[in-house]
A and B are shown apart, each in its own frame.
Chain A
Amino acid sequence: MALLNVDQLSVTFGGRGRKDSIAVDGVSFTVDQGQVVGLVGESGCGKSVTSLALMGLLPEKGVKVGGRVEFDGQDLLTISRRKLRDMRGSQLAMIFQDPLSSLNPVIPIGIQVTEILQRHRGLKGEAARKEAADLLDRVGIPDPRRRLKEYPHQLSGGMRQRALIAMAVACAPRLLIADEPTTALDVTIQAQILELLKELVDQEGTALLMITHDLGVVAGICDEVNVLYAGRAVESAGRRELFAAPTHPYAHGLLGSIPRLDAPRGEPLRPIRGSINDKIAWADGCAFAPRCDYYTMECLTGTPELTEPRTAGHQVRCVNPVLPKAEVSA
């Protein structure tokens, strides 16, 4: 039994007089202790909404959340708000994309960190301050005592993200959700932060759910990868299998459209046609079909199911997957 079991999670935004918009459409995955699972996809694929749904951070009005999210045997979608509040920060924690807007600009870092320690671990006064300084120290912020007194704007981007990570790991959470933790950072800082996250997973056995659009980051850190498109996983596999043999045309296309630092020059990129706006509802067929180079009429009749056309554990939602033969002819 994995630590986190997400089963057929769906999120629908609606409201009076507005057409329902399905952001997440039946996503299932599991995260085990000490494991890094990636959710990858482009903007609008539902990866961030998934993370918000797991943390219970979606607004209650106008949002319908379905499916089951089992964390350590408890269904996070049905437990009381109060209980969830106790778990958030202590057992579940989240790191957001933009560290500046996720920190309160008018409160010093120290107070923001000790707040968590007070709420979940009952630490007060000097004990809390000492623990907070230790936390900042652990995530590699130089001179933590002084930094505790500073405001978010006085810290650099990388340091803010470190402070946010310090807050997230303050209570040694069992599951850490990182939503694009390095997107706002420069590559050299990104490397520092990723190294820090890896270390957390290795040392503490934290389960990490990594949400990102950057396949390079995924290749470096994730054990299992779920590629999302229009609210559904289209391919799930171990990172080695996925990158060695991307089988869904979307995953295949994504990898073909990234310029690689180590690729020989002069090779043209193979972009995916159209944009995410050209999707059809999963209920009618494959949402990716309008952009797909391999689509057949079969793609437009009924929802494709997850199958394992290649190896066990490598799931693909496609009726006409990119198999070795097709790769050659493409």
Chain B
Amino acid sequence: MSLLELDDVKVHFPVKKGVFFDRTVGHVYAVDGISLSVEAGQTYGLVGESGCGKTTLGRAVLRLVDITSGEVVFDGTDLAKLPDEEMRQFRRRLQMVFQDPLGSLNPRQNIESILSEGMAAHGIGTDRADRREKIKAILARVGLPANSLSRYPHEFSGGQRQRIGIARALVLEPDVIICDEPVSALDVSIQAQVINLLEELQESLGLTYLVIAHDLAVVRHISDVIGVMYLGSLVEEAPSDALYAGPKHPYTRALMSAVPVPDPEVEDRRERILLQGDLPSPANPPAGCRFHTRCPWVQEKCALERPVLTDLGDGHKVACHFAAEIENGTIGLTRATGIEAVVGTDKSADVDAAEPVADKVPAAKVPAQKASVEDAVVVAKPVAVEDEVVVETPVAVEAPVAGKSVAEKPADVDTDADVAAENESDEAAAPEEEAVDKAVPEDKAVDKDKAVPEDKPASDEVADAAGTGAGGKTGSA
């Protein structure tokens, strides 16, 4: 039994609209079904880009935000269902270190007051003098001078403030400390001091950490197990070394390849997977695999079925339908080939049928592929809406790979595909203001516009429809 176990935790924030009546018009799926377990004495690192829900998850463990559903089992007790007062008492054992050391310390309280407040609330120490002794011991432990007691937060440097934040957690003698971006606000030389301090404390006090950070290098350095989050769910979880040695999820691969390494030799020869576009909105996450809109290896199944986190052995869990195939190379890059095919055989109706898919294809640049950096960036461009652009895109030149993989692909429920399809049939081609930001569900898209091929892009009707669309396009170009 692990010390802290999360089971299918969901945190959905309602989106309200209206002046008098708070109509709930949707939800932001900040955390959407996360299960993980943290062993006592270990460090679990959560990484992900901004907006992936990692901070919300950390706060949910402490019930600083309401948990929509799921269980947070700490030492045998489900925190998600505890009454408030009992939860408050439990917080002594679960403490948090926040990102912004200045913002999380009250500027009008001196250090003694900041540190003793929690002790008084949880009944630690008999009287003021006793508490002061304890605080002094902790201050020494985190490397702050003993005369700090009567000083105020503004008198300290950033690194020292973060030490105060850590001391505030430590005075309550917690079992678990949740560190939310503990070092990202600090300069690199100070970062190292704080990281070393955290490691030292773990060793001497047997603490358990849940570290939330966006910096993969920091997380790898201090964590035993790493979970990679994308858009509210875990896409990969593995022991730190295994994750670094062999990332299996396409997102983890891209993330790892994007982290700069302070070594020119490494930087010059490493392969980089450039992801196209940004994180989709968590208020309207894509159906199927959350990552399929940006995944360089996207397949038909990805848009339809959401992959679950499956153990591939040795605790290496991946949420990807095709992790194995991608690793042994049986699946090629789908995005890059897609666009080449389209542009190359521009006039054939067959391939035109697959156009909407191809349109949204511009995804990744991988060094293995022959496209140079410049081309990739150009590819990454606006193929979506402006018709002429599709035809004129310089990528047209290197088109030899025909669209057989493309033709078999369905119209992914992708925003860009959607927009492209709409523009093809709407003669006005008036850009939809919201379209790009919102993924319209597939069925709806098909209703609106027959040109979106659904499952069999080769069917006559679809080919015809798309053909007309493409005809108009050629004309405009």
Task: Mark A residues whose CB is within 8 Å of B.
Answer: 42-43, 137, 140-146, 156-159, 186-192, 194-196, 198-199, 202-203, 213-220, 239-240, 243-244, 253-263, 265, 268-272, 275-277
Residues 409-439 of B contacting A (Cβ, < 8 Å)? 416, 419, 431, 433, 436
Contact call B431/A146, Cβ cutoff below 8 A:
yes
For A192, the chain B residues whose CB sits under 8 A away are 274-275, 380
Contact call B261/A272, Cβ cutoff below 8 A:
no
B192 in complex: contacting residue of A186, A216, A240, A269, CB < 8 Å: A269
Shortest CB distance A238–B (Å): 9
Q: Is B256 an interface residue (CB 8 A)?
A: yes
Contact call A188/B240, Cβ cutoff below 8 A:
no
For A276, the chain B residues whose CB sits under 8 A away are 157, 187
Q: Is B475 an interface residue (CB 8 A)?
A: no
Given A143-B431, A145-B431, A216-B259, answer yes or no on A239-B381 (Cβ-Cβ < 8 Å). Answer: no
A261 in complex: contacting residue of B49, B259, B264, B385, CB < 8 Å: B259
Stretch of B9-17, B165-173, B211-219, B316-324 at the chain-chain interface: B211-219
Shortest CB distance B343–A (Å): 16
For A254, the chain B residues whose CB sits under 8 A away are 188-189
Q: Is B244 an interface residue (CB 8 A)?
A: yes
Add 20 more A-B contacts to A195-B373, A258-B217 (CB < 8 A).
Answer: A141-B382, A142-B277, A142-B381, A142-B383, A143-B384, A143-B436, A146-B431, A157-B278, A186-B279, A187-B260, A188-B254, A195-B376, A195-B377, A216-B262, A258-B192, A261-B217, A262-B261, A269-B195, A271-B192, A271-B193
Contact call B373/A259, Cβ cutoff below 8 A:
no
Contact call A143/B218, Cβ cutoff below 8 A:
no
Contact call B157/A275, Cβ cutoff below 8 A:
yes
Closest residue on chain B to residue A263 by CB atoms: B221
Contact call B382/A142, Cβ cutoff below 8 A:
yes
Contact call A277/B196, Cβ cutoff below 8 A:
no
Given A196-B377, A271-B193, answer yes or no on A262-B266 (Cβ-Cβ < 8 Å). Answer: yes
For B278, the chain A residues whose CB sits under 8 A away are 156-159, 189
Contact call A42/B262, Cβ cutoff below 8 A:
no
**A-B pairs with beta carbons under 8 Å apart, 13 shown:** A42-B187, A137-B381, A195-B365, A198-B373, A199-B373, A218-B262, A258-B188, A259-B195, A261-B244, A261-B261, A271-B189, A271-B196, A275-B157
Q: Is B331 an interface residue (CB 8 A)?
A: no
A219 in complex: contacting residue of B220, B264, B376, B384, CB < 8 Å: B264
Closest residue on chain B to residue A256 by CB atoms: B192
For A42, the chain B residues whose CB sits under 8 A away are 187-189
Q: Is B136 an interface residue (CB 8 A)?
A: no
Chain A proximity mask over B371-402: 1 for CB below 8 Å, otherwise 0 = 00110110011111110010000000000000
Residue of B189, B199, B383, B384 with highest tally of chain A CB at under 10 A: B189
Contact call A142/B384, Cβ cutoff below 8 A:
yes
Contact call A261/B256, Cβ cutoff below 8 A:
yes
For B263, the chain A residues whose CB sits under 8 A away are 219, 243, 260, 262
Given A191-B258, A219-B264, answer yes or no on A259-B220 (Cβ-Cβ < 8 Å). Answer: yes
Closest residue on chain A to residue B50 by CB atoms: A186
What's the Cα separation between A43 and B158 when bound, in Å?
11
For B380, the chain A residues whose CB sits under 8 A away are 140, 192
Shortest CB distance A147–B (Å): 9
For B279, the chain A residues whose CB sits under 8 A away are 156, 186
What's the Cα separation between A268 and B200 when bound, in Å?
10
Closest residue on chain B to residue A190 by CB atoms: B258
Residues 336-393 of B contacting A (Cβ, < 8 Å)? 365, 373-374, 376-377, 380-386, 389
Q: Is B227 an interface residue (CB 8 A)?
A: no
What's the Cα separation between A145 and B275 when bound, in Å?
23
For B377, the chain A residues whose CB sits under 8 A away are 140, 195-196, 199
Contact call B431/A216, Cβ cutoff below 8 A:
no
Decide if the interface of chain B is mainly helix, strand, loop or mixed.
helix
Given A143-B386, A199-B374, A269-B221, answer yes or no on A257-B262 (Cβ-Cβ < 8 Å). Answer: no
Closest residue on chain B to residue A43 by CB atoms: B187
Residue of A143, A216, A240, A258 with highest tally of chain B CB at under 10 A: A143
Q: Is B149 an interface residue (CB 8 A)?
A: no
A142 in complex: contacting residue of B50, B196, B385, CB < 8 Å: B385
Given A137-B382, A146-B431, A277-B157, answer yes or no on A261-B220 (Cβ-Cβ < 8 Å). Answer: yes
Q: Is B461 an interface residue (CB 8 A)?
A: no
For B144, the chain A residues whose CB sits under 8 A away are none
Contact call A253/B244, Cβ cutoff below 8 A:
no
Shortest CB distance A36–B (Å): 12
Q: Is B28 an interface residue (CB 8 A)?
A: no
Shortest CB distance A193–B (Å): 10
Contact call B49/A186, Cβ cutoff below 8 A:
yes
Q: Is B232 an interface residue (CB 8 A)?
A: no
Shortest CB distance B287–A (Å): 21
For A220, the chain B residues whose CB sits under 8 A away are 260, 264, 267
Residues 55-93 of B contacting A (Cβ, < 8 Å)? none
For B255, the chain A residues whose CB sits under 8 A away are 187-188
Contact call A243/B262, Cβ cutoff below 8 A:
yes
Shortest CB distance A71–B (Å): 28
A216 in complex: contacting residue of B160, B214, B260, B389, CB < 8 Å: B260
For A159, the chain B residues whose CB sits under 8 A away are 278
Shortest CB distance B417–A (Å): 13
For A216, the chain B residues whose CB sits under 8 A away are 217, 259-262, 267
For A258, the chain B residues whose CB sits under 8 A away are 188, 191-192, 217, 262
For B193, the chain A residues whose CB sits under 8 A away are 257, 271-272
Contact call A219/B260, Cβ cutoff below 8 A:
yes
Contact call B188/A140, Cβ cutoff below 8 A:
no
What's the Cα separation between A246 and B374 when bound, in Å?
33
What's the Cα separation between A94 and B193 when bound, in Å?
34
Contact call B267/A219, Cβ cutoff below 8 A:
yes
A259 in complex: contacting residue of B217, B376, B384, B433, CB < 8 Å: B217
What's the Cα separation between A15 and B252 when bound, in Å?
51
Q: Is B134 an interface residue (CB 8 A)?
A: no
Contact call A265/B220, Cβ cutoff below 8 A:
yes
Shortest CB distance A321–B (Å): 18
Contact call A213/B258, Cβ cutoff below 8 A:
no
For B190, the chain A residues whose CB sits under 8 A away are 271, 275
Q: Is B159 an interface residue (CB 8 A)?
A: yes
- The 5 A-B residue pairs with the shortest CB-CB distance, nearest first, are A216-B260, A257-B192, A271-B192, A259-B221, A142-B382
Q: Is B408 an interface residue (CB 8 A)?
A: no
Contact call A140/B381, Cβ cutoff below 8 A:
yes
Closest residue on chain A to residue B51 by CB atoms: A186
Contact call B220/A215, Cβ cutoff below 8 A:
no
What's the Cα separation between A198 and B50 when bound, in Å?
25
